[in-house]
Each structure stands twice: as structure tokens, then as C-alpha cells.
Structure 1
Amino acid sequence: MSKIILITGGSSGIGKSVGEFLTAKGFQIYGTSRNPEKYTNSKFPLVALDVANVATIKSAVSEVIEKSGRLDILINNAGAGITGPIEEIPDAEIKRNFETNFFGPLNVIKEVLPHMRQQQSGLIINVTSIAGYMGLPFRGVYSASKGALELITEAYRMELKPFNIEMTNVAPGDFATNIAAGRYHAPVNDKSPYKTSYGNTLALMNSHVDSGQDPKIMAEAILRVINTQKPKAHYKVGEFMQKFSIVLKRILPDKVYERLLMNHYKL
């Protein structure tokens, strides 16, 4: 019997690639989108869900359970980028980013857990980011929201052990997706003291996404996690240096690591 998988943010980017890949492997996939009617060519069904709206989360999960009778795997993929000098990003945008990247996934988890507990089985995969392992300049809010999801997963895993429900993080590096077009960019203000440093860093970040890896690599990694009986807490998927940067942070003195990051971003 094929497993039933719900992927938030399944209409584009990593979510779409993962959904198409897993569909081809025989899984029954439901993706989500805030406006599923826009994606008539989707290779798997899309249900309406906005992670910032609890009512739509409840409705979407109920729809999947009603149609399939169960839910085996949740892939918490929906997320949003945000860039800018922390001092200059409006509070409302910071809160909106946390609603999407942190509170949204938590609310989807809360909605699926009763069903998985009743089944006495389930797997939850939170798509985080390698950026969540370090505070990156002009991506500090994004790093913080993804890092928060990484950490809370560590705690959640232990709480769920008695129910035979597994939870893990899969942290991607830079992949060739449309995240740069959809992220919130604080404007590069001519009068800002950060004009030059932020402008240069923003151009570098966008180039990283444009030259990023094929999202299929992320899909293959998620399939390996699905096929692992007892997943680890953390998986990293990306180019060698992106993953190695996490190792360097563990072993290098703080100031040395900070200097490496500043040199990388030409600050």
C-alpha cells in the first residue's frame, strides 16, 4: 500500500520537485498551495492551505484524511525568504516570516499529530536550511526562523518517541528555485549606512540561488530519509562547502569563523 504524503508549499520550487519525484516512485502525494486553482498542470493533487492561517490548515488536513483515510508522512516545506539589515526590516515583516517559517510548520504538525498517534505511526520532515545553523549577515531573520525550527524539532522528537512517530530536519543549501523572487527584500536605501554592504551581499545571495543545485537532489535525499527506519535529527543537503561550513563553526573559534563569513560576503 503506497504511503500518503502531504507536502506544504507543493506548487513550486523544492516542494514541487519533491512531489513530482515521489509521485514517480509510487507514493500518493498531496501538495498544498494558497491558490491551488492557479496550478492546473500539477502532477499531483493540490489542496488549499496557507500556513499562516490555522483554519486552512485544519481544512486541508481534514480533506487529505477524508480522501485517503490516513496520513503517513508530512513534509513541512512551505517557507519564505527574507533579506535586509536587521535594523531596517519592519517588525511586521519579521513577524510574518516567523509565521511562515516557524509557527506555520508547528501548526501543521499539531493538526496531523492526532491522526498519526491514532495510527501509531508517522514521519514528519521539516525542511529547514543550512542558513539556520549560523547567523548570516543580512539574512539574520531567515537564519533565526529556520534555526528555531531546527532546535524545536530536537525537543519534539523526544516527546513523540512513545507514539512511534519520527521527526527530522532536512536542511538544504542553495538550490535553483524561485525563492529569491518570492522573498521579502528590504530596499537598498541610498541614505542607509548599509547601502554598499547590503547591496553587494544581496547581489551575491541572488547569484548563489541562480547557480544553485538541481532540486531533484533534495528530492532524492528526502526519499532516503523516508526509507530510513530511524531517521537522525538532522540532515544537510547541498554543496560540500555549504555543509562543511557547519563543521567549521563547531571547531573554529567564534571570531575566526565570523571573519570567514565576512570575507565570503566581502564585508
Structure 2
Amino acid sequence: MKKIIFITGTSTGFGKLAAIHLAKQDNIVIAGMRESSTRNKNAADELSKLSNIEVVDIDVTDDLSVKTAFEAVLLKHGRIDVLVNNAGVVGYGLVESFNIEQIKKIFEVNFYGTIRTYQAVLPSMRRLKNGLIINITSGASGHTLPFMVPYLASKFSVESLTEGIQEELRQFNIENVSIQPGAYPTEMTDGSKKSMDGEKSDISAQYEPVASEMLNAITSGLFGKMQKYNMDPQVIVDGITSLINMENGTRPLRLPLDQIAEGTDKEFIEKRAEIKARWLEKYMG
């Protein structure tokens, strides 16, 4: 049976690739994006011409927009089998250089936007006692890095959501998984997609020259590794596809997809799960 798959953030990157790939597999893909008739019109038109893709305008930072988009899809199709929370924004800079409003904007998209889509889709999934929600987080969202603290904090918040809500949803046969990508060449990393960067240049200047030296070392290493390991965004799309095709009850809570990490990401997840199990035993046992 065809699956109804709702993907947010499909104007670029992982979201767009996933929409095209999953539609070719004879699923019905709801390609969500904001400003589909203006700034992202070209992407919307491109996807709309493809079989099995329906473009829906949605701004995950807006309550009414999210509510309207999901209600329209549910009215037409009666269900949403899979939700892929891919919409996201990145931000670089020293913590002290960020205005609070900038940090709030990062969280509005990455965290609160995810909460909004959960609350919009869960009533129908609970009613049908079936559903899968896939959250795209970050390979570093289980810890953090300098110059990316607000961004990674927002992604770690989604990790917390994914982990905590899994047990809440178990009785309804609804699963959720976080995919943890490493560094991939997409619009989010090549600078073509607007980011929410620290704006207080007077503060940043007081960290120089050390801050620039550290940042240059991090970014040069990052882009160098992407080339060395030939990081291909299709890996993330294949990960999404594999999760969708798995039998209910067999999906992992987290799926790290980062060749650069050379297995340390998987080791981190396994150790964390092991320690949590022992912690729970102390409290619940």
C-alpha cells in the first residue's frame, strides 16, 4: 500500500532529495516548504511537476500554518503514515555574540517547529494506532561544539523529545527515530542557505585572534573531511527510506549516519543507552 509521507523543509537539501526519491518509490509525498509561491517558487514548481508529489505551504514557526497544512492533508488523504521533520536552520558564532532573539529563532524552527508538527499529526496517528516520525538532528547533537552552541542545543532538544516521547507513544504503535547526520555538502553547509549567526561584532572582536583561529581550524577540518570521505546526501535519503521500510517494532531510536566519525558516533549512542539503562535501574528497579 502506498504510504502518505509528509516531509518538511523540501525546498533544498535532504528534504528535496528525499521527496523525489520516495515519490519514485510510488509513495505519495507531501512536500512541505514555506514561501512556496514566492522565495521558494522554483523549487515548488519543480517538485509539483513530478508524479506522486504534492507541495504544501507550511511555516513550522507558525501555529496556524502548521495546523492548516496538516488539516488539509488529512482531509484529502485521511492519514499520514510517516512524518519527516527535516526543516531546519543553522547558526554560527560565539555564544556571547548572539542576541537572544536570534537564538529564539533557531529554536522556533528546529525545536518548536518539530513540537508543532508532532502535535498536528499525533491525533490521527493515535486514532489509527500507526505511524512513524523521523527527526533529522545532527551528528554532534549528543554533545556540542564551539561556535555552534545554540544550533546544537536546539538539535539536542529534538533528541530529548525523540527519546522521551518514544515510551509515551508505545501504546499507540507509533515510533519515532532521530537520524544523526554528520557533515554533508548541502545548502546548509555551503553558505547558500541563510543562517542565524551571531551579530554582536563588537563582542566577537574581543575574542580575537583566538576565536578566528579556532573557527578556521574547525571549518577547514570539516570541509576537508567532507571531501576526503566523499560525503553524499543520498546516504541520509537511503537512511530515511530504510527506516520507512522496516517492520514496526524493529526500528532503532537513533540512526547515526556519519562516515567521518568512523563508528565513534555509534559507540557514543550505545554507551549512552547502556548508562541510561543502569541509571533507570537505580531509580525504577
Query: Structure 1 residue 217 and structure 2 residue 235: aligned?
Result: yes
Matching residue of 2:254:
234
The runs of 5 or more residues in structure 2 that have no matched partner are 272-285
Of 191, 195, 214 in structure 1, the residue corresponding to residue 208 of structure 2 is 195
**1:208: how far off?**
3.2
- What whole-Å deviation, never above 9, does each CA across 1:189-209 have from its counterpart, x for those lacking one? 476122334434544437736
Query: Which residue is 2:158 aligned to?
Result: 149
Q: What letter corresponds to residue 4 of structure 1 in structure 2?
A: I
Whether contact under 8 Å (2:97, 2:200) holds in the other structure is: no
Distance, in Å, in 2 between the alignment partners of 1:100 and 1:197 is 31
Deviations 1:167-210 (A, max 9, x none): 11111111111013322222584761223344345444377367
**2:145 paired with 1:136:** yes
**What code does the residue aligned with 1:208 have?**
L
Please give the per-residue CA displacement for 1:60-102, whole angstroms capped at 9, x wherever unaligned. 1011112222110000110110110001111000111111111
Matches within 5 A, 1:1-267: 1-37=1-37, 38=41, 39=43, 40-42=45-47, 43=50, 44-180=53-189, 181=191, 182-187=194-199, 189=201, 192-203=205-216, 204-205=218-219, 208=222, 211=227, 213-229=231-247, 230=249, 231-241=251-261, 243-244=263-264, 247=267
Q: Secondary structure at the match of 2:123?
A: helix
Indicate the RMSD between aligned Cα atoms, in angstroms.
2.2
Q: Report how far residue 41 of structure 1 moved.
A: 0.9
Alpha-carbon distance in structure 2 between the residues aligned to 1:201 and 1:131:
17
Q: What is the CA-CA distance between 1:240 and the residue it aligns to?
A: 3.8
Report the CA distance shift for 1:48/1:198 in structure 2 as closer, same or farther (over 3 A): farther
TM-score by length of 2: 0.81
Deviating beyond 6 angstroms after TM superposition, the runs of 4 or more aligned structure 1 residues are 248-251
Distance 1:201 1:115 in 2: 48
CA contact (8 A) 1:130 1:242 kept: no
What code does the residue aligned with 1:217 have?
A: V
Q: From the superposition, tell whether residues 202 and 46 of structure 1 become closer, same or farther in structure 2 (CA, over 3 Å).
A: farther
Give the equivalent residue in structure 2 for 1:260.
none
Separation of aligned partners in 2, 1:232 and 1:248: 14
SS in 1 for 2:46: coil
One-letter amino acid matched to 2:23: T
SS of 1:5 mapped into structure 2: strand
The code of the aligned residue for 1:122 comes to G
Residue 79 of structure 2 aligns to which amino acid in structure 1? Answer: R
CA drift of 1:27 comes to 1.2
Distance 1:101 1:206 in 2: 26
8 A Cα contact 1:4 1:27, kept in partner: yes
Any gaps of 5 or more consecutive residues in structure 1?
252-267
The percentage of aligned residue pairs carrying the same residue is 31
Larger CA deviation: 233-242 vs 151-160: 233-242
Worse-matched range after superposition: 204-213 or 119-128: 204-213
Cα deviation per residue 1:88-140 (whole Å; 9 max; x = unaligned)?
A: 11100011111111111011100100011111100011111112111101111
Contact 2:111 2:155 in 1 (8 A): yes
Q: Which residue identity lines up with residue 238 of structure 2 in the other structure? A: E
